[in-house]
A and B are shown apart, each in its own frame.
Chain A
Amino acid sequence: MTTLAVKNLFHDKVRLSVTLTGIIFALVLIAVQFGLFLGFLETSANIVTRSGVDLWVTAPGLPHVNGGSAQPERRRYKILAVPGVAKAEPYLLSFANWKLPSGAKESVQVVGYDLESGLGGPDALIAGSADGLRGDDTVIIDEHYREKLGVTALGQAAEINGVRARVEGYTQGMLSFTTAPYVFTSFKHAQKYMNLPRTQTIFIVVRLARGADAQTVKRLIAAALPDCQVFTNAEMAWKTQSYWVFSTGAGITTLMGAVLGLLVGMVVVAQTIYAATVDHLREFGTLKAMGAANRYIYRVIVEQAVLSASMGYVVAIVVALLVVHAARGGDAPILLPAPVAAGLFGLAALMCVAASVISIRKATEIDPAMVFRV
């Protein structure tokens, strides 16, 4: 039976090429669109997911991590009194203007964190050091945005909201979902750049004591500070992701692209498998006349579909990995983690088997008496 499935598949090479092209096109489209979606999820909340923070305490009405409003910094002393809290530090994240050497302005997001605890600080420095932020007016930017921010070398000066800044180091892979790159600095410098009173902060970020339960501590802080909102790191990440990725429509668009890829793939594969089945109806009729049960014929068709899916998948995954590699230097990363790449094979097989259902019905309905017609 395997012989018949394989040989029928390779017998008409033109049709096989069309089938494989359809599968490859669909799978690459799905991989790229879904990879973009994962990239959006990653970049929209990387400032949260890579912060090392356990709990975020904010003023009420926070739409996402990039939209916080000021609150008194002294609240952190109340938080420190809550059992299970190891550290509570001020943290600032706010949009600002970066003045390029040319005089033009670029929007950036200033990230001010406590240098002693390092909570919310950069995690992937490739030049300079976090200690360098102890110097006057020092900042760290991501190497990806050097050109955008007009930075040609470490030590170069710039202005943030009219206040002097000096680039002390570079991070890597700290991409921003918005067009405004992250600029890390000390909390005190950030207050100065944002003209925020010394008694104010945007967030108070919490590191839990070893073994403390995040949800329990969250409830205790919320009880101690009823006019604040408290989020676990995962909740803050999801709140931010759902805002940027879903509310703005960017994520839905990419997901729709992936679904479209799936539909296009199914239609192309269904058409070619159906055409192949119609071409082989007489053979299926002969099999039935010879005594083959319907399930024997289903298996031939499904084997062909799974074989097509397997071959298409191998090529598609190579193409998708090339696209992922090519997108690495761009503003919109495409992520294709191993579980997604593996899951794509399941999807390919499912797509091809689903596409063969109509063909299976057609083959089932064959009247074996057709074999006596010339």
Chain B
Amino acid sequence: MDTVIQIRDVVKHYGNGASQVRALQGVDLDVRAGEVLALMGPSGSGKTTLLSIMGCILRATAGSVKIAGREMVGLPESELPRVRLQHFGFIFQGFNLFPALTARENVEIALDLKRLPRRQARGRAEELLAGVGLAEKAASHPADLSGGEKQRVAIARALAGDPPMILADEPTAALDSASGKTVMTILASLAHQRARALVIVTHDPRVLGYADRVVRMADGRMLAEAEQIAELVH
């Protein structure tokens, strides 16, 4: 499988001097197309910071971040939105849907960013919603959807631009077990059948069953295999 994200010796510091927080301290990681990678670890371990750096939302303080073989460190700030638009779909714990828009319009907006003509965007949004089992909810507003349905709309939106990489932050945290299972089934099949890289930051042990690889983090570092076993035991 091709490596689509390559992280080497990435460091991320917040703030300066005595109040400086060392969120990441020399992380190396490869993410390959078609795999489901779960990033686990306690709060403050650096998972979300790593996810943000992978998604070109945050800049690393030092190290190398390559997306589809292209070095992101040193790229001008104005280039990053285009990289995100081209390579990534994001799924958030809080869904982050636009409350004033219907489910279909929430998906359409991602296609609008890609400058797809409105009529085509509408058809594609309906296809995507049908793909996550929400064809009949296309005209519903987020307030009228359950948590699981909202997250499925968010998945449809993340897929709208047909990105090769999906980054998901705690996608099941706000869902009951049935909804969480549905969401994970959709996401895992997406990665496996359509060869997309899926990185999931999670605390949820239910996710482990769907992951091809689990990476554990603590104190801004990735734990070695022995350490991971020790942590699992504890």
Instruction: State how many angstroms separate the Cβ of B91 from the closest Cβ of chain A.
Output: 10
Stretch of B31-39, B66-74, B94-102, B206-214 at the chain-chain interface: B94-102
CB neighbours of B51 from chain A (8 A): 372
A149 to chain B, nearest CB (A): 62
B105 touches A369 (CB 8 A): no
Please tell me the size bucket of the interface on A. Answer: 20 to 34
Q: Does B55 contact A (CB under 8 A)?
A: yes
Instruction: Name the A residues within 8 Å of B55 (CB-CB).
Output: 289
Residues from chain B with a CB closer than 8 A to the CB of A289 are 55, 57, 84, 90
A4 with B101: CB separation less than 8 A: yes
Binds B, one of A291-299, A338-346, A353-361: A291-299
Cβ contact within 8 Å between B84 and A283 = no
What residues on A are CB-neighbors of B88 within 8 Å?
291
B194 within 8 A of A: no
Contact (Cβ within 8 A) A3 B81? no
* Contact status of A291 and B85, CB under 8 A, knowing A368-B57, A372-B52, A372-B169: yes
The stretch among B106-114, B128-136, B182-190, B223-231 that forms the contact with chain A is B106-114
* Separation of A372 and B55 alpha carbons in the complex (Å): 11
Binary CB contact string for chain A from 276 to 311 against chain B (1 if under 8 A, 0 otherwise): 000000110011111111001000000000000000
A5-13, A21-29, A158-166, A328-336: which one contacts chain B? A5-13
Shortest distance in angstroms between B139's beta carbon and chain A's nearest beta carbon? 13
The answer to whether B81 and A288 have CB atoms under 8 Å apart is yes
- The distance from the CB of A28 to the nearest CB of chain B, in whole angstroms, is 29
| Residues in A neighbouring B52, C-beta threshold 8 A | 369, 372
CB-nearest residue of chain A relative to B93? Answer: A374
Residues of A within 8 A of B108 (CB): 3
A1 at the interface (CB under 8 A from B): yes
How many angstroms between the C-alpha atoms of A369 and B84 in the bound complex?
Answer: 13
Instruction: Determine the residue in chain B with the shortest Cβ distance to A286.
Output: B96
Q: Is there contact, CB below 8 Å, between B96 and A282?
A: yes
Using an 8 Å CB-CB cutoff, how does the interface string of A138-155 with B read, 1 for contact, 0 for none?
A: 000000000000000000
Query: Quick one: closest A residue to B87, CB to CB?
Result: A291
Among A296, A369, A371, point to the contact of B96 (Cβ < 8 A). A371
Neighbouring B residues of A372 by C-beta, 8 Å? 48, 51-52, 57, 92-93, 169
Q: Find the B residue at minimum CB distance from A285.
A: B96
B100 touches A10 (CB 8 A): yes
| B100 adjacent to A371 (CB under 8 Å) | no
Of the candidates A10, A11, A282, A296, the one whose C-beta lies within 8 Å of that of B113 is A296
* Residue numbers in A under 8 Å from B81 (CB-CB): 288, 291-293
Q: Which residue of A lies closest to B157 (CB)?
A: A290
In B10-37, the 8 Å CB interface with A consists of none
Residues on the A chain within 8 Å of B94, using CB: 374
- C-alpha spacing A348/B110, complex, angstroms: 32
Residues of B within 8 A of A371 (CB): 57, 90, 92, 96
Whether a CB of chain A sits under 8 angstroms from the CB of B86 is: yes
Closest-CB distance, B79 to chain A (whole angstroms): 10
In A1-54, the 8 Å CB interface with B consists of 1, 3-4, 7-8, 10-11
B-side contacts of A11, CB under 8 Å: 99-100
Contact A8 B100 (CB under 8 A): yes
Decide: A4 near B57, CB < 8 A? Known: A291-B84, A291-B86, A372-B48: no
Query: Is the C-beta of B145 less than 8 angstroms from some C-beta in chain A?
Result: no
Name the CB-closest residue of A to B158.
Answer: A290
Least CB distance, A293 to chain B, in whole angstroms: 5
Residues of A within 8 A of B100 (CB): 4, 7-8, 10-11
Bound CA–CA A288/B92 (angstroms) = 14
**B58 — which chain A residues lie within 8 A by C-beta?**
369
Complex Cα–Cα for A157 and B96 (A):
83
Bound-complex Cα distance A223 to B169 (A): 89
Residues of B within 8 A of A3 (CB): 101, 105, 108-109
Give the shortest distance, in Å, between A207 (CB) and chain B (any CB): 65
Q: When each residue 173-187 of chain B gets 1 if its CB lies under 8 Å from chain A and 0 otherwise, what string results?
A: 000000000000000
A20 to B112, CA, bound (A): 29
Of B48, B92, B113, B170, the contact of A291 (CB 8 Å cutoff):
B113
B54 CB, nearest partner CB in chain A, Å: 12
Query: How far is it, in angstroms, between the C-alpha of A374 and the C-alpha of B96 when the chains are bound?
Result: 10
Instruction: Give the distance in Å from the alpha carbon of A296 to the alpha carbon of B112 in the complex.
Output: 10
Ranked 3 nearest A-B pairs via Cβ: A291-B85, A11-B100, A7-B100
Which residues of chain A have a CB within 8 Å of any CB of chain B? 1, 3-4, 7-8, 10-11, 282-283, 286-293, 296, 368-369, 371-372, 374
Q: Please name 27 pairs of A and B residues whose Cβ atoms are closer than 8 Å in the assembled complex, sorted by A.
A: A1-B112, A3-B101, A3-B108, A4-B100, A4-B109, A7-B101, A8-B98, A10-B100, A11-B99, A286-B92, A286-B98, A287-B113, A289-B90, A290-B90, A290-B113, A291-B81, A291-B82, A368-B57, A369-B58, A371-B57, A371-B96, A372-B48, A372-B51, A372-B57, A372-B169, A374-B94, A374-B170
What would 10 more interface pairs be, CB under 8 Å, given A3-B109, A4-B101, A371-B92?
Answer: A1-B109, A3-B101, A7-B100, A8-B100, A289-B90, A291-B81, A291-B88, A371-B96, A372-B169, A374-B93
